[in-house]
Structure 1
Amino acid sequence: MIIHHKTQIYTVKSGDTLSGIAEKYGTTYQQLAQMNGISNPDLIYSGQELKINGTADPAVKMYTVKSGDTLSGIAARYNTAYQKLAQINGIGNPDLIHPGQVIKIG
């Protein structure tokens, strides 16, 4: 299966975070940082233009793991199985997720 991605430009607004932008566009902050040559993902500025190669499918949701989250808890929240989340995100050990990690839901 080939998934086509739509590349677009996003202008950073005050209060934006790279992880928040990534979640909105169905990608990860790591991919955004790499694509835009950002060495420190915590340092973006208002007015900065970012290339975004997010998913073209708006049905794909992204979730940023928070402290205390478990994969099974996230799965229950989105009415899916933790095994499915582990599989689509390439997570070998479902007990090893960390805050800030962005996972696909769906």
Structure 2
Amino acid sequence: MPLYLVQLQEYAAAREPRLFTYQIRPGDTLYSIALEFGTDIETLAGLNNIGNPHLIFAGETIEVLTLVGSVHRVAEGETVEKIAELYGVEAEAILEANRLSGDRLLPRGERIIVPGGRLSRSGTVVFSWPLQGRLTSGYGWRNGKFHYGIDIGAPHGTPFYAAADGRVSKAQYWGSYGLMVELDHGYGWSSRYGHASKLAVTPGQRVSSGQVIGYIGVTGNTTGPHLHFEILKDGQKINPQSQLP
């Protein structure tokens, strides 16, 4: 588990879990809100059905849970044990977070805090920039051809990073991309990184956001050292900047 998640969970454990409404202030980001209240971006995005965590606006209200986890709405006949099994957590953690006794009947519609609970169906993928550098070419038409990604200039050999957690689906020389990496992030999301001089990952490997996956080069169809970066949703290339902070 990444160190920052361990720190967030320890911070949250020191306080009683709370669920409350928060009004977004100018300058807030989902990350800054998460850090302030001892949770993480995935928890906030899932709780508020935020598809793009980078698009929040001052004046809007969101719900905040002061720990890493989920909030579950009880269905007919559900017990704490069933909810714990669904989320892959211990029933005792749910009982403690909600001040419940083990024999209490859970009313349908009641909202229950699930510490550490995740449901894979949330579909939230949070992307970050794979490289700090100058944007040399954007997404769109360029010299009569459509450019299905963005180019980020950097010196030869500069490391670039996974833009989100995922699994390596390609790590090879692939046509005009040159030496490239493709990551599968789940929920229909993937990303591609082209023109590398050297790769730091292999197919099937799991990687974390911010992990070095390769180094800038000039392989493939390129006129100078840069990273060609693409984001795909359900196999369709979209503007990467629509998903970046």
TM-score (norm: length of structure 2)? 0.24
Larger radius of gyration between Structure 1 and Structure 2 = 2
Q: Which has the higher strand share?
A: 2
